[in-house]
Amino acid sequence: DLYSFCTLLVGQMNDPCTPVDVPEEVVRFLEPVDHTARERFYNWLSRSLWGKVMQRGPLTGTKNPSAVLEKRMEWANGAPLIQPLPLFIQSNRLDAQCQDFLKSLRSDVLRHVLALGNVMQCASPLHVLTSRAEKAIKEISDHEVTSLADMERKIVVASSGGGTGSVPNAPQQRYDPFNNLPVPQPTPA
């Protein structure tokens, strides 16, 4: 009815983070949470996942509705939520140099950097972002090296008959994991 619509519209005007086209049941669902949690729900979570979060039940009556909402959003998303880059830039008031740096990062590195949170209170945001990116690149490359070593080990074990029936301490033929060719072994001196 008209009264409900006007009440909804006035409520949305009082909360500037609420988009105008949000259904009334979503606005009511989010009433017990704080402004920050509501903003994250609207801006960080895909609209297609809103219903999945709401199906878990109302937030009223929970000890900390905002924290409950955050956990439900992570559950619905299947991973921790990461602030979209434009919102990260805006909320941290980053200068052009920081923006250019972030936009130059690979997507996997950028996800690591953004997941560590805001840099607005930092004396040198560019230094912090650079440090985060360097750590992320190292973690990612360490993981890739570990994965490559695991893959190589599995190939060696498979090529030696699974390790069963082999002579103890006998040299094993190693194989290059990329083209599955034998790797030349150094001859003992």
Is the predicted pLDDT of residue 166 greater than 50, yes or no?
A: no
Q: How far apart are alpha carbons 105 and 110 in whole angstroms?
A: 6
Task: Give Cα separations from 183 to 147, 152, 164 (angstroms).
Answer: 19, 11, 21
From the centroid of its chain, how far is CA 72?
15
- Give pLDDT, residue 82: 78
**What's the pLDDT band for 13 if we cut at 50, 70, 90?**
very low
Where residue 28 falls among pLDDT bands split at 50, 70, 90? very high
pLDDT at 117 over 50: yes
Q: For 132-141, write each residue's pLDDT tens digit.
A: 999 988 888 8
Integer CA distances (angstroms), 59 to 10, 90, 105, in order: 22, 29, 38
User: Which has more confidence, 140 or 159?
Assistant: 140
pLDDT of 10: 47
> For position 152, what pLDDT does the model report?
57
Give the mean pLDDT of 130-151.
Answer: 76
Instruction: State the first-to-last Cα distance of the chain, in angstroms, to the nearest integer.
Output: 92
User: What are all long-range contacts of 113-122, with beta carbons under 8 Å and residues at least 24 apart?
Assistant: 114/82, 114/83, 114/85, 114/88, 115/80, 115/82, 118/88, 118/91, 118/92, 119/92, 119/94, 120/91, 120/92, 120/93
Banded pLDDT at 53 (limits 50, 70, 90): very high
The CA–CA distances, whole Å, from 14 to 4, 111, 119 equal 15, 33, 28
Residue 72: pLDDT band with limits 50, 70, 90: very high
Give the residue with greater pLDDT, 77 vs 151: 77
| Largest CA-CA distance found in the chain, in angstroms, rounded | 93
How high is the mean pLDDT of the chain?
77
